[in-house]
Amino acid sequence: MENKPLYILSYDHGGFVLWGNAVKPRLKELVEWMEKYPKLKVGLDYESFTFDEYSKVDPEIMELITYLLEKYPDRVGLGATTYGQPLSLFISEESNIRQLTYAIRTNLKHFGQTPSVYAISEFALNNQTPQMAKLCGYKGAILRSHVMGYGYTKNFDLPWGRWIGKDLSEIPAVPTYEEQGRGFNCTTLDNWIMSRWPREGCYWSLEEFEEKFKHISPLLASRYDDLTQEVQDITEYIETKDDYKYVLLEDLPELYGEAKEEMRTNDNDFHVQMPWGYCGNEIFNGCRESEVAAVQAEKLNALAVMLGGTPMQEKLEQAWKYALVAQHHDVTICGLLDLSRRFIPDSLKLSSEVKDASLEVIKKRFADKNDDSLLVINSHSFEIDEWIEAPVNGDVTAFDGDKELVCEMSEDKKSIRINVKGEPFTVKKITLQPTTEKNTSAFSWDESAGVLKTPVYNVKLTDKGIAYIEDAARNKRIFDNGEGELFTAYVVDGNYSSFGKWNVFVSSHSAKAVFEGNVSTIPCRFEMNFYGKQTRIDCKAKFELHGETVGHTDLSEGLKKSITIDGHRHEEKMNFIMNMCLDENRRMVRDLPFSISDWNGAVRKNESYWYPEDDIRYDEEVSAEESFASTTYMQGIYWLGMNDKNNGIAVFNRGCMGSLIQGNRLEIPLLYSGKYMCGDRILEGIFEDEFALFPYDGTVSDADIHRNAMSYAYQPTVLSLEKGEGDMNEMNIADFSADSGEVILTTFYPEDGAIFARFCNFSDSSATATFNLADSKNMVETDLLGNVTSDVSDGKLSFRPWEIKTVKISI
What digits encode the pLDDT tens for the residues 397-420?
999 999 999 999 988 889 999 999
Reported as a pLDDT band with limits 50, 70 and 90, residue 620 is: very low
Letter string b/e over residues 476-493, b meaning 16 or more CB atoms within 10 A of that residue's CB: ebbbbbeebbbbbbbbee
Reported as a pLDDT band with limits 50, 70 and 90, residue 172 is: very high
Burial (Cβ within 10 Å: 0-12, 13-18, ≥19) of residue 544 = middle
Geometric angle at alpha carbon 415, from 413 and 420, rounded to 5°: 130
Per-residue pLDDT of 683-714, as tens digits, reads: 999 999 999 999 999 899 999 999 999 999 99
Q: What are phi and psi of 487, to 5 degrees?
A: -130, 145
Position 606 scores a pLDDT of: 38
Cβ atoms 227, 14 nearer than 8 A: yes
Cα–Cα dist 552/672, whole Å? 9
Contacts of 73 (CB under 8 A, 6+ apart): none
Reported as a pLDDT band with limits 50, 70 and 90, residue 344 is: very high
Count of positions (residues) in the chain: 811
Cα–Cα dist 787/802, whole Å? 21
Per-residue pLDDT of 55-65, as tens digits, reads: 999 999 999 99
DSSP three-state, residue 492: coil
Contacts of 581 (CB under 8 A, 6+ apart): 476, 477, 478, 479, 480, 647, 664
Reported as a pLDDT band with limits 50, 70 and 90, residue 605 is: very low
Average pLDDT over residues 607-620: 33
Position 565 scores a pLDDT of: 61
pLDDT of 608 > 50? The answer is: no
Position 113 scores a pLDDT of: 98
Average pLDDT over residues 445-473: 97
Position 393 scores a pLDDT of: 86
Position 2 scores a pLDDT of: 58
Q: DSSP assignment, residue 293?
A: H
Position 609 scores a pLDDT of: 31
Residue 403 C-alpha from the chain's centroid: 39
Geometric angle at alpha carbon 304, from 298 and 307, rounded to 5°: 150
- Give this prediction's pTM: 0.95
DSSP three-state, residue 69: helix
Position 604 scores a pLDDT of: 40
* Three-class HEC string of 625-650: HHHHHCEEEEECCCEEEEECCCEEEE
Cα–Cα dist 255/478, whole Å? 58
List C-alpha distances in Å: 426 to 95, 474, 535, 809: 25, 35, 23, 18
Per-residue pLDDT of 242-283, as tens digits, reads: 999 999 999 999 999 999 999 999 999 999 989 999 999 999
pLDDT of 766 > 50? The answer is: yes
Position 560 scores a pLDDT of: 44
Per-residue pLDDT of 431-458, as tens digits, reads: 999 987 677 889 999 999 999 999 999 9
Reported as a pLDDT band with limits 50, 70 and 90, residue 618 is: very low
Reported as a pLDDT band with limits 50, 70 and 90, residue 157 is: very high
Average pLDDT over residues 217-239: 97
Cα–Cα dist 239/249, whole Å? 20
Contacts of 759 (CB under 8 A, 6+ apart): 381, 743, 744, 745, 746, 769, 771, 797, 799, 804, 805, 806, 807
Average pLDDT over residues 728-757: 93
Per-residue pLDDT of 346-384, as tens digits, reads: 999 999 999 999 999 999 999 887 778 999 999 999 999
Average pLDDT over residues 752-772: 96
| Average pLDDT across the chain, whole number | 92
Burial (Cβ within 10 Å: 0-12, 13-18, ≥19) of residue 613 = middle
pLDDT of 603 > 60? The answer is: no
Position 320 scores a pLDDT of: 98
Cα–Cα dist 729/5, whole Å? 71
Average pLDDT over residues 23-51: 98
Average pLDDT over residues 138-164: 95
DSSP three-state, residue 73: coil
Position 295 scores a pLDDT of: 98
Cβ atoms 730, 755 nearer than 8 A: no
Q: Which strands form 743-751's sheet, in the order they lie side by side?
A: 743-751, 754-761, 804-810, 778-782, 788-791
Cα–Cα dist 395/405, whole Å? 14
**Helix pair 337-366, 282-306: axis angle to 10 deg:** 30
Position 1 scores a pLDDT of: 47
Cα–Cα dist 367/722, whole Å? 6
Position 553 scores a pLDDT of: 66
Per-residue pLDDT of 543-580, as tens digits, reads: 999 999 999 766 554 444 444 567 888 999 999 999 99
Position 729 scores a pLDDT of: 86
Q: What are phi and psi of 648, to 5 degrees?
A: -160, 170
